[in-house]
């Protein structure tokens, strides 16, 4: 077939899904690539002396590569380098998992698609294509689920032609995967803790207004989010000068540094579920603080006297979402995994624009980790051999959390990561900081999609992708006026708020108890059916009989999932069990689409839900007790006030 006709035929197969890539392929230049014919008449491509496939038997070569690719099982294959596509077709015949193809050269793609007519692989819905690092990251984000098995395979020709592109692709996937895994693992570990803490905090939550009472109140005002990185201190003199013209949100650990510079922030934000009451206490106390904690913060944090308290009900916290829905609050959208990133979304919800980051180093600047006068300023960093580092004086931070560090842990080596710095030079950082840098990509895109300007004005530390970088003075000069902005009366907002009745909460809780009982019953019946189906499959003679048995099991799974949907927060509470059982299923050596795999997956679902249902019931009992406690407190307060409104007490 004529090369142009072959190209158009192949492009037609995936033009709808990858329209922009198809246009770019059509426009690609082929001057560095030539077609050659081998001794048996097979055609291949040659680029800078490197063949993209064998000139003798390219199909058999592709089959051998596919055998190598399939040596380890995968739920997602990332194929770096397209070659002529023979290895991808052969792999697809062996394993039907989704494939993400990354080919950084549009010219190679055009040449390959022009050479091979009838190449249908790219038309499959679970075969995906990326030609840039950003597209690779975006496609991986859509396809990857923490816990699935990923396999990265590099085509030998690409390794020889463009080692830098291979390295960049591997680094992109590794950092994205680490980011998603760390976030997922952290969330799974914390789901139950968030649930317990939120329930324990219920009386305090009902006494304090939700943060949605602040949403939109600072519309158009520049918002400065102050983190605790070592570059923070150099920005504080200018922040003090411009203090009344901006909204200032500080994370708890940098409150001391701001106060040492004569700055009282508009809000102090804390998200931790561990006890970080010392972040306020060691910084001079909370009496003048407008405090914005998560609903799931450690209960001790709510005991600190503050000026006002506004509660954040994050969407990630299912119990908090449940409460918000029952009480008609607006749950808060949060991205990323740090308190500073949460503060960015808080500033956005309040109406801040632009949002300016200071002290967001996310790197070890000048051998330091934290700003001077911030809570953990003594903790340091020391580079060691083998591209590693140790923390220094971190026992002082541990002591604030009631922990001790033995001599071995004091000198424990950690891997060092090098990233692009704010000024373009490479700077050292940790694996966790590199993960947070990666998370900012999505945050930057999110803000840009909502016409919010997110500026990194740290002037130190790491360069953060998808964010604009400029000097702090330059940013303030562009977005502030000579007139101080009028800010809302927070005390008045707080005093106007109260919860007089828990009737809606009690009705929702009772409905969830009934749904839990139904869920347990369905899981018990599903477990019995799993055993029955497994025995019946061993005796089944016809294909239709096997299909009918598996369909019966599928209906049982569907009923359980429907019950789970009736109580949205249950699914998050039992995530630990779901992940544990899913890991066990993946460890069983059975084909991915076999009847036995279907049985094991059904058994996983039923056993996981049953294993977590007792804990869910205990949480419901705790929630009922906390509602009763609040009702009793409210009754006594109303009596003491002679029937007046006591619902706004701090």
DSSP calls for 253-318: GGHHHHHHTT---SEEEE--SS--THHHHTTT-STT-EEEEBTTS-GGGGGS--SEE-BB-BTT-H
- Tokens describing residue 96: 């039907």
9-13, 214-218, 578-582, 638-642 — which one is most confidently predicted on average? 214-218
Our separate counts of H helices and E strands in the chain read 24, 20
Other C-beta atoms closer than 10 Å to the C-beta of 68 total 11
CATH number (domain holding residue 46): 3.40.50
Percent of the chain with pLDDT over 90: 46
Give the three-class secondary structure for 355. strand
> Does a structural domain hold residue 394?
no
> Does a structural domain hold residue 103?
yes
Does 517 share its domain with 465? no
Nearest CA-CA partner of 252 in 232, 287, 278, 219 = 278
- Given a contact cutoff of 8 angstroms between Cβ atoms, the answer to whether 447 and 355 are in contact is yes
Does 218 share its domain with 158? no
- Given a contact cutoff of 8 angstroms between Cβ atoms, the answer to whether 321 and 212 are in contact is no
> Does a structural domain hold residue 196?
no
Does 12 share its domain with 158? yes
> Does a structural domain hold residue 94?
yes
Does 31 share its domain with 139? yes
- Per residue in 471-486, pLDDT tens? 999 999 988 777 667 8
Q: CA-CA distance, 376 to 369, in Å (whole number)?
A: 9
Does 81 share its domain with 146? yes
Give the three-class secondary structure for 635. helix
Confidence of residue 648 (pLDDT cuts 50, 70, 90): very low
Give the start-end residues of each E strand in 385-517: 388-392, 414-415, 417-420, 426-429, 454-456, 468-469
> Does a structural domain hold residue 162?
yes
Does 53 share its domain with 124? yes
Q: CA-CA distance, 347 to 400, in Å (whole number)?
A: 28
Does 149 share its domain with 263? no
Which whole-number Å values give the CA distances from 462 to 35, 109, 391, 427, 428, in the listed order?
Answer: 45, 35, 19, 7, 8
Q: CA-CA distance, 247 to 479, in Å (whole number)?
A: 12
- Tokens describing residue 436: 């947070």
Q: Which residue has the higher pLDDT, 31 or 59?
A: 59
> Does a structural domain hold residue 403?
no
Question: What does the H/E/C string look like for 177-211?
Answer: HHHHHHHHHHHHHHHHHHHHHHHHCHHHHHHCCEH
Does 507 share its domain with 571? yes
Does 440 share its domain with 336? yes
pLDDT at 234 exceeding the cut of 80: yes
Among residues 457, 487, 517, the one where a domain terminates is 487
Residue 6 backbone phi and psi in degrees, to 5 = -60, -45
Among residues 419, 454, 487, the one where a domain terminates is 487
Q: Tell me if the bond preceding 354 is cis, omega within 30° of 0.
A: yes
Does 14 share its domain with 145? yes
Does 219 share its domain with 113? no
Q: Structurally, how many domains does the chain consist of?
A: 3
Does 483 share its domain with 512? no
- Per residue in 489-547, pLDDT tens? 999 999 988 787 889 999 999 999 999 999 999 999 999 999 999 899 888 888 888 88
- Per residue in 559-572, pLDDT tens? 988 888 888 777 67
Domain region containing 467: 208-363+431-487
- Per residue in 415-473, pLDDT tens? 999 999 998 999 999 988 988 998 898 899 899 999 999 999 999 999 998 899 999 99
Cα–Cα–Cα angle for 245, 248, 252, rounded to 5 degrees: 160
> Does a structural domain hold residue 413?
no
- Per residue in 382-421, pLDDT tens? 899 888 999 888 888 888 888 887 776 777 888 999 999 9
> Does a structural domain hold residue 393?
no
Among residues 139, 161, 180, the one where a domain terminates is 180
Q: CA-CA distance, 24 to 248, in Å (whole number)?
A: 45
Confidence of residue 192 (pLDDT cuts 50, 70, 90): confident
């Amino acid at each position: 077939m004529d090369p142009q006709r072959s190209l158009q035929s192949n492009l037609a197969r995936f033009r709808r899904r990858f329209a922009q890539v198809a246009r770019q392929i059509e426009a690609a230049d082929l001057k560095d690539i030539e077609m050659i014919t081998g001794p048996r008449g097979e055609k291949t491509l040659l680029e800078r002396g490197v063949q993209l496939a064998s000139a003798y038997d390219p199909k058999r070569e592709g089959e051998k590569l596919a055998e190598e690719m399939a040596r380890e099982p995968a739920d997602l294959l990332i194929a770096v380098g397209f070659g002529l596509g023979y290895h991808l077709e052969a792999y697809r015949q062996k394993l039907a998992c989704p494939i993400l193809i990354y080919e950084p050269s549009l010219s190679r793609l055009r040449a390959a698609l022009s050479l091979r007519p009838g190449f249908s692989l790219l038309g499959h819905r679970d075969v995906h294509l990326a030609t840039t690092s950003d597209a690779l990251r975006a496609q991986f984000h859509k396809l990857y689920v923490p816990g699935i098995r990923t396999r990265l395979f590099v085509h030998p020709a690409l390794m020889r032609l463009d080692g830098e592109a291979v390295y960049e692709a591997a680094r992109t996937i590794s950092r994205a995967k680490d980011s998603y895994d760390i976030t997922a693992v952290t969330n799974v570990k914390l789901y139950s803790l968030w649930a317990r803490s939120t329930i324990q905090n219920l009386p305090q939550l009902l006494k304090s207004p939700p943060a949605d009472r602040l949403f939109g109140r600072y519309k158009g005002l520049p918002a400065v989010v102050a983190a605790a990185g070592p570059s923070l201190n150099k920005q504080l003199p200018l922040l003090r000068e411009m203090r009344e013209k901006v909204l200032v949100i500080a994370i708890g650990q940098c409150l001391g540094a701001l106060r040492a510079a004569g700055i009282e922030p508009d809000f102090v934000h804390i998200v931790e579920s561990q006890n970080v009451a010392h972040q306020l206490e060691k910084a001079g106390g909370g009496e003048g603080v407008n405090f914005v904690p998560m609903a799931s913060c450690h209960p001790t944090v709510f005991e600190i006297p503050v000026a006002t308290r506004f509660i954040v009900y994050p969407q990630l916290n299912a119990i908090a979402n449940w409460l918000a829905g029952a009480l008609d609050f607006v749950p808060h959208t949060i991205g990323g995994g740090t308190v500073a990133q949460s503060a960015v979304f808080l500033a956005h919800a309040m109406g801040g624009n632009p949002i300016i980051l200071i002290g967001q180093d996310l790197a070890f600047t000048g051998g330091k980790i934290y700003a001077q006068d911030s809570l953990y300023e003594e903790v340091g960093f020391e580079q060691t051999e083998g591209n590693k580092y140790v923390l220094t004086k971190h026992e002082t931070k541990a002591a604030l959390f009631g922990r001790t560090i033995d001599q071995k842990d004091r000198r424990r080596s950690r891997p060092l990561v090098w990233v692009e710095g704010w000024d373009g030079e490479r700077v050292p950082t940790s694996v966790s900081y590199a993960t947070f840098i990666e998370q900012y990509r999505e945050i930057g895109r999110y803000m840009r999609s909502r016409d919010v300007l997110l500026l990194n004005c740290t002037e130190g530390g790491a360069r953060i992708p998808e964010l604009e970088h400029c000097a702090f003075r330059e940013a303030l000069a562009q977005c502030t006026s000579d007139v101080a902005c009028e800010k809302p009366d927070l005390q008045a907002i707080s005093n106007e708020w109260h919860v007089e009745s828990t009737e809606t909460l009690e009705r929702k809780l009772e409905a969830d108890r009934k749904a839990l009982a139904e869920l347990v019953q369905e899981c018990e019946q599903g477990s019995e059916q799993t055993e029955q189906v497994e025995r019946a499959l061993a005796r089944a003679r016809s294909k239709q009989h096997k299909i009918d048995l598996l369909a019966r099991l599928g209906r049982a799974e569907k009923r359980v999932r429907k019950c789970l949907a009736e109580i949205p927060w249950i699914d998050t509470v039992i995530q630990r069990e779901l992940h544990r059982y899913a890991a066990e299923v993946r460890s069983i050596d059975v084909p991915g689409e076999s009847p036995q795999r279907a049985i094991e997956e059904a058994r996983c679902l039923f056993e996981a839900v049953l294993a977590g249902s007792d804990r869910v019931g205990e949480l419901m009992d705790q929630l009922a007790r906390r509602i009763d406690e609040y009702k009793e407190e409210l009754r006594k307060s109303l009596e003491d006030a002679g029937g007046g409104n006591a619902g706004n007490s701090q």
